[in-house]
C-alpha cells in the first residue's frame, strides 16, 4: 500500500470534485491524502510515495500557485511516481481532450522544467449562476467564440467521469 498525495488548485471547485472522486477510487488500494494548494502550499512531500497534482484553468492559465508549488518541489517530484492533470472547458472538444492536443496543458508544460510522468486532461464545468457579473459575461463571450453554451441560467458539466476513473486506475498502478 503506497501513500499518495493528491494536491490541487481549483477556481470554482470542480477540480476539487475530480480530486475527491480520484481519492475515493485510489483509497480502495492505497493511503490517500487530499490537500488543496490554497490551504497548504508548503506541504511536505517526503512522506509520500506518489504525488498527483490537479490544476484548473481560468482565462487560459493555470493558477500561479501551481507553478510555484512545482518549482519549489521539483526535486521531490522527480524522485517519486507522479502525475499532473489539467481541468479546462476547451477539453470538451474531442480534438483538444488529450495531453498532446490540449493547448492549455501544452502551454503549461513549456513553462516548467519538471516533466510529469503521467498526464491527463479533463473537461471542466461551466456554472454561470455561481459567477459574478464580470466572470459570467467574460466566460460567456469566450464560450460564444468557441461555440460553447451561453445560457447564463445554465450549468454545463463536460467531465468524462469514465476518463477520470481510468486515470484513477493509472494512479493506483503507477
Residues 93/149, Cβ–Cβ less than 8 Å? no
The backbone torsions φ and ψ at residue 36, rounded to the nearest 5 degrees and listed phi first, read: -85, 135
Q: Which of 36-40, 74-78, 82-86 has the lowest mean pLDDT?
A: 36-40
Check residue 59 and give its pLDDT.
Answer: 86
Cell of residue 109, nine digits: 508544460
Q: What are the extents of the domains in the chain?
A: 3-124+159-173, 126-158
**Rounded CA separation 62/68 (Å):** 11
CATH class of 3-124+159-173: alpha beta
Residues 120/166, Cβ–Cβ less than 8 Å? no
Check residue 63 and give its pLDDT.
Answer: 92
Residues 86/104, Cβ–Cβ less than 8 Å? yes
Q: Is the model's pLDDT at 38 over the cut of 90?
A: no
Q: How far is CA 119 from the centre of its chain?
A: 10
**Rounded CA separation 101/106 (Å):** 8
Amino acid at each position: 500500500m503506497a501513500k499518495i498525495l493528491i494536491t490541487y488548485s481549483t477556481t470554482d471547485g470542480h477540480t476539487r470534485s475530480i480530486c475527491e472522486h480520484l481519492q475515493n477510487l485510489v483509497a480502495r488500494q492505497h493511503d490517500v491524502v487530499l490537500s488543496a494548494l490554497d490551504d497548504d502550499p508548503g506541504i511536505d512531500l517526503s512522506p509520500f510515495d506518489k504525488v498527483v497534482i490537479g490544476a484548473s484553468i481560468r482565462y487560459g492559465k493555470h493558477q500561479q500557485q501551481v507553478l510555484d508549488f512545482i518549482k519549489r518541489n521539483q526535486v521531490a517530484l522527480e524522485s517519486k511516481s507522479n502525475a499532473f492533470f489539467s481541468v479546462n472547458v476547451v477539453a470538451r472538444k474531442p480534438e483538444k481532450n488529450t495531453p498532446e492536443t490540449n493547448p492549455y496543458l501544452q502551454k503549461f508544460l513549456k513553462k516548467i522544467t519538471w516533466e510529469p510522468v503521467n498526464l491527463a486532461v479533463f473537461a471542466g464545468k461551466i456554472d454561470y449562476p455561481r459567477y459574478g457579473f464580470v466572470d459570467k459575461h467574460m466566460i460567456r463571450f469566450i464560450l460564444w467564440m468557441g461555440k460553447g453554451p451561453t445560457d447564463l441560467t445554465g450549468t454545463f458539466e463536460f467531465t468524462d467521469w469514465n476518463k477520470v476513473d481510468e486515470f484513477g486506475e493509472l494512479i493506483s498502478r503507477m
